[in-house]
Structure formats: structure tokens, C-alpha cells
Amino acid sequence: MNPQQIAAQQIAAQQIAAQLSSAQSAVAQAAASVGAWASMTPTSTWAPNVPNQIQQNSLPPWASTAATAPQAAAAPEQPQPVTRVSRWGQRPEKTDSWSDGEQKWKDREQKSNWWSEKSQPYRNPQDGAKTEWQDRAQASPPEPLIAPDWSKVPRQPFQRKFLCTLQQEEEGAEKMRQQLGICIEDRGSLLAAPKPISSFEELQVLPQYVIEGLSQWNINAPMPVQSQALPLAMSGCNLVGIAQTGSGKTLAYLLPAIVQIEAQEPVPKGSVLPIALILAPTRELAVQITEEATKVLRGSRSGSHKNGIWASSVYGGGKKYEQIKNLQWGCEVVAATPGRLIDFLTSKVMSLERVTLLVLDEADRMLVEGFAEEVNIISAQIRPERQVLFFSATWAAEVQALAAGLCHSSQPVRLSVDQEHGSCMKAARKARQGIVQEVVVVDFPDDYEKQVAEKRRRLDDHLHEVLWSSADNKVLVFVSQKTYADELATKLWDAGFQAAAMHGGKSQEARLATLDRFRKGELRLLVATDVIGRGIDIPSVSHVVVFDMGGVEDYIHRIGRTARGKDGTGHALVFFEYWHKDPGIAAELAEALASSGQPVPPELLKIVQEVAAGQRQVWKGNNSKWSGKRWASNEWSRSEYSKHCAD
């Protein structure tokens, strides 16, 4: 080693020794400071008002050791972890080693907090108007909804009449209605009803982006219910529309809603103040309505609302914070189920003070589901001069009473489409002409197990035949039990078919995902319960199977999932079982088949005859639907029965 290297090593050693000396001095100073801290009294200037006991308890566990022997320890002893209870359960007290894990928990908490700025990138913290309702909802518990005294509430007038009302019928109007199968049952307050339209451009009030949006989705001409309902709604009428499922009722109320929204001032960004409110009985239908509205609203920024017109859905079973985020982003059109909507109203999440158009879709189903009280509560939160539109495939007397109570400004116009003799009362018992209905009577009243086994055997044979006959066939099967839905779907999947089940036992996200896959054609067969029975539009369903029939009205709705749209055709298979608690259902089904131009099976006619002759077991309970009055009210009379037997 040469002298230069030796000198360099000596210099390095001196530097290291100097650094060690400095470190030892720093440690000694720190220990002395700790000792001074531990020896402080309650009268020290740093904490004159803190009790001595609290100060002693606040000392670190190594403070006393450092005070008595600061020179003996180069560094304080590491603290021992202690157990404490937190929001995540019992875990050791936070130390330096917990810093990373604690930060992860904080990040997770911030992500799950839907009030945070992370989850609301559009929210402006400096804009108090946008977050006032949020602060109010957090500060106080929800209060019961109280109907406002609208005579004392100032509000802006709105335009609901966009077409001129007529004093007399136009020439050729009635002939055109007959060709389209339209019948105006009640003109309400109108002297003359407008003529049906043959194109959307005839209205001359639809925004151009709506016409272009319809054209992009290959909707070039209105369907019968749209051709008459649109000019009536644009004339400012309250309207009751009765049409078969899949006939285009959704656009019949969405297009008037868009025209009415375009004529009003835009909703401030971040405010949850819808203008058009659509009530639906099921979550799936509310989501579908929103999707249909989005199709025609994509170009709405070119209209009078520079930020566009937005549609949102509100329904139970979905995540509240996601729905609130969507409402804040834009909610001129809201499709909602009554329960979740009332929840948002009571918690001050949204207000209905700007709603000028109220729509009830599948209004009869609303009453079946027990939503009558909720509908009345929601109605009281909306200005009385609003426009009201009802659309459904059926129209029971109870729903007519509901309509009369909701239409405050004028008596509604009632129209029916493609109903025999133009009667709204017959709407419930007639299916679309394009559906081939096949009824299989399974009648083993004394052997339930044999009856179920026979139904399942025939169902398996039918499904395999349909699925193997053509790769384009898409099948929808309705059952009443969740367990059998899962069992059948699994069985068909194992057999090599793309099948899935959908029922109320699955989460809302899973149900919507399954329905979307079936719509896109990723699934060829879907086994479902009543969650998909009403109003849901699924394209290209070639076959429907009703395993457990239930009532005739539900049967008509279920088989309406096939043969949708213009010139649609489809096949429906239903298994009929006689039930002694509802003996009249056989006659009702026979009537529905006859009115739809379908053959009535001899086995079904035999059951109708045996019930009429008193040869079938009939339940005599107080809640029995069967009585002489009911038979007399049915259109299916003894003479009609004899006529079909002769045929």
C-alpha cells in the first residue's frame, strides 16, 4: 500500500469518528430534554391548566426511564403494542409499523364515503347551492313527507299545449283510426280529437336531435299507440292509453316529456329537480325506461339546454350513492319505483317542485304490487296543474279510480289500441295476433307429484327441441320458484346451452347484468320469475314458456315478451293446471284464446264444462273468486262454449 492510500484511509477514519461523536452528543441532548419534560410540575408554563394525573398518563411509556438514566440508553425502548377497539374491531395500537396499513384503511374509507370529493368529481365545494341539500340530509334525520299547500307556493307557469285544439273532427280521422285499430273511448274535455299522425315530422314540435336519434335506432314511423297518443299529449290533455305490451308505449310518453322540458328553463347543474317523473312498478322497468330515454337524448346538447337533457333511474335494491351521483349529474327525466323515490324525498335528496309531467307506466301493476298509497303520497308533492299520462296493457276499475284522483286539471282522454270492440275492459284478455299460443293441459288433480313430473318432462322435451332446431331461437321461461329457476338453468347449462336464471333472490346488479347478456344474445335461454314479467322489452325472443300460469292477465303479459315490434311473430307454451281455489280461470283462458284467434284445446273446454256443471271441486272459502256473478260477468257464456264445442 503506498503512502497516498494510507493517508486517504486516515482521513476517512477521522471523518467517521467525527460523525459518531456528533451522534452521541445529539442522543445525550435528547435524553436530557426528555428528563426535563418528565420532571415538569402542573404549574409549568407549557400546560398550566392540565391536571397532573392527565399529564402523567400522557407521558410515553419510556419517559421515566429516560429521565432517571439518560446516559444509559442510546435510544428509547420501542413501545409494546396494546389492544384497542376501533371501527374495524380489536387490533394493536398504531405504531410506526401500522402506518401503511392505517393509510390503506383511510383510503378505503374515503372511497366508500359518497360525500367525498373523490366520488363527486363534478361537485364544486365553493358552490353552496349544489350541496345545501346534502348538508341538510346529514345534519338532521328524515322527516315525514307533508303535502305542501300549493295555493301558497309560488311557482313558474309552464307550457303543456304545443298543438292547437280542434273544434271538430278532421276529415278521414275516424277512418284512419279504424285502420290502425285505435278507438277513443272517452274524449274527456276535448271537443274533437286530433287526427293520428303517420310520421314524427308531422308533429313539427319534436327537436331535430330527437328525429335523428329515432332514425339511428331505425324508428322511422310511429306505431299505432304513438300515432294517436302523441298528438293528444302534445295538445295538453291528460291521457289514458291502453295498448298491448310491446306496442311502443314508452316513446308515447317520452317524446312529449322531451318537448315539455325543452320549453322550460334548464335545471341548475347539481340540483336534483326533475321535470318529467315516470313511476314504474319494477326496478328492471325503471332501468329500461332510462335506457330508452338515453337513446333519443344523446344529441340534446344541440337543443335549448346547453348541458343536455339527462335521464336517471331511482329504484330500491341499487346503491344509493351511485343513484344520487347520477341525479346530481342530470335528472330532467327520472324513472323511479315508488319506495326508493319516497326515501329520497324524505331525506331531502331531491324535490318534485319542478315536475310538470307525471307518468304512470303499468299502472294496474302498481295497484297489484300495493303501491296505491305511495302513488298518492308522491302525487301530493307535485303541483296540481301538472299533465298526467297513464299507459298500460290493462285497465282495471281500481286504476280508473286512481286516474280520476290524480288528474286534477282536466278529465283524461281514454284511448285503446287493437282491442276487440274498442273495449278497455277486454284489454286484459287478448294477446297479440302474432303470437302462436299452445296450451298444454296437465290434469292429475289427485296426484300432485305425478302432475309436477309430467310438466317437467314436457318442458325438457320442448326446450331441447326448440334450442336444437335453430341456433337463432331465444327462449324465455317463467317459473314461480327461485330454486327451480336455478335448477333448470344449471341443468340446461350442463347440457351445453347458454342459460341463466333471474329472480328476486339475486342482487340487483346480477339481475341487470343477466338481463343485459340475454338482450345482447350472449344467453339463449333465461329462466325468470315475475321480476321480468311486466313492461320489459327484450328483442328477438322467439319462444316463451309459462311453467306456472297464475292469472290470465299475468299470462298475457308474460307471453307478450315475444313477437314484439311491427310484424313480429313468436310462440308461447303454457302449462294449465286446474286449481280449485280459482275455478273460473279455465273459462277466462278459453276466452283469451278465442279472442286472440287461437284454438281452444278440448281438454280445457272439458274443464270449463265440468266447472259449469258443478262436477269439479270448488273451494268454498270466503276469499274464493268463484261465484255465479263472476260467471255471468264473463264474456265466455254457455252459448259460446257450445259454439266452440261444435266447431
Q: What is the pLDDT of residue 170?
A: 86
Q: Which residue has the higher pLDDT, 33 or 502?
A: 502
Taking the C-alpha atoms of residue 382 and residue 44, their distance in angstroms, rounded to an integer, is 66
Could you give the CA distance from residue 511 to residue 613 in angstroms, rounded to a whole number? Answer: 46
Model confidence at 599, in pLDDT bands (50, 70, 90)?
very high
For residue 483, pLDDT over 80 is answered with: yes
Residue with more model confidence, 509 or 300: 300
Other CB atoms closer than 10 Å to residue 345's CB: what's the count?
A: 17
The lowest-confidence range among 157-161, 198-202, 314-318, 455-459 is 314-318
Which of 201-210, 400-409, 501-510, 575-584 shows the highest mean pLDDT?
Answer: 201-210
* 3-state class (DSSP) for residue 500: strand
Q: What is the mean pLDDT of residues 275-293?
A: 93
Return the residue matching grid coordinates 331525506. 347
Order of strands, sheet of 276-279, starting from the edge strand that comes earlier in the sequence: 182-186, 413-417, 239-242, 387-392, 357-361, 276-279, 333-336, 311-314
d(CA 527, CA 558): 12
Mean pLDDT, residues 495-502 taken together: 92
The residue that leads in pLDDT, 597 or 279, is 279
**For residue 647, which of 589, 575, 582, 599 has the smallest C-alpha distance?**
599
What pLDDT does 424 receive? 52
Top pLDDT among 463 and 40 is at 463
Q: What is the pLDDT of residues 416-445, one digit of tens each?
A: 887 654 445 555 567 777 889 999 999 888
* CA nearest neighbour of 554 among 393, 426, 360: 393
Name the grid cell of 238: 291528460
- The predicted model gives 300-328 an average pLDDT of 93
Checking if the pLDDT of 205 tops 80, the result is yes
The answer for 455, left when phi > 0, alpha when psi is -120 to 50, beta otherwise, is: alpha
Domains of the chain: 32-78 (no CATH), 163-428 (3.40.50.300), 429-646 (3.40.50.300)
Residue 113 CA to residue 127 CA, distance in Å, equals 20
Beta bridge partners of 334: 277, 312
Nine-digit cell string for 17: 469518528
CA gap 544, 542 in Å, rounded: 7
- In angstroms, the CA 428 to CA 551 distance is 10
For the ranges 5-14, 122-131, 398-407, 458-467, the lowest mean pLDDT is seen at: 122-131
The arithmetic mean of pLDDT across residues 112-130, rounded, is: 37
Average pLDDT over residues 130-136: 49
pLDDT single digits (tens) 250-281: 999 999 999 999 999 999 988 999 999 999 98
Of 5-9, 192-196, 616-620, give the lowest mean pLDDT range: 5-9
What is the pLDDT at residue 433? 75
Q: pLDDT band at residue 357, thresholds of 50, 70 and 90?
A: very high
For residue 341, give the nearest of 356, 358, 329 by alpha carbon.
358
pLDDT for the residue 432: 74
Separation of alpha carbons 94 and 603, rounded Å: 77
Question: What is residue 84's predicted lDDT score, i.e. its pLDDT?
Answer: 44
Instruction: Say whether 578 sits in a helix, a strand or coil.
Output: coil
* Closest to 410 measured CA to CA, from 240, 296, 264, 250: 240
Tell me what the pLDDT averaged over the chain comes to.
Answer: 78
Chain Cα centroid distance, residue 421:
35
Q: pLDDT by residue (tens digit) across 63-113? A: 444 444 444 445 455 555 444 444 334 444 444 444 444 444 444 444 333
Q: For residue 62, is pLDDT > 60?
A: no
Q: Is the pLDDT of residue 11 over 80?
A: no
89-103, pLDDT tens digit by residue?
Answer: 444 444 444 444 444
Average pLDDT, stretch 535-557?
85
What does the pLDDT average to over 481-506?
A: 92
pLDDT > 90? residue 222 = yes
The whole-angstrom separation of Cα 142 and Cα 136 is: 10
Least confident piece of the model among 2-16, 285-299, 601-615, 619-633 = 619-633
Spatial distance between the Cα atoms of 213 and 199, rounded to a whole number of angstroms: 14
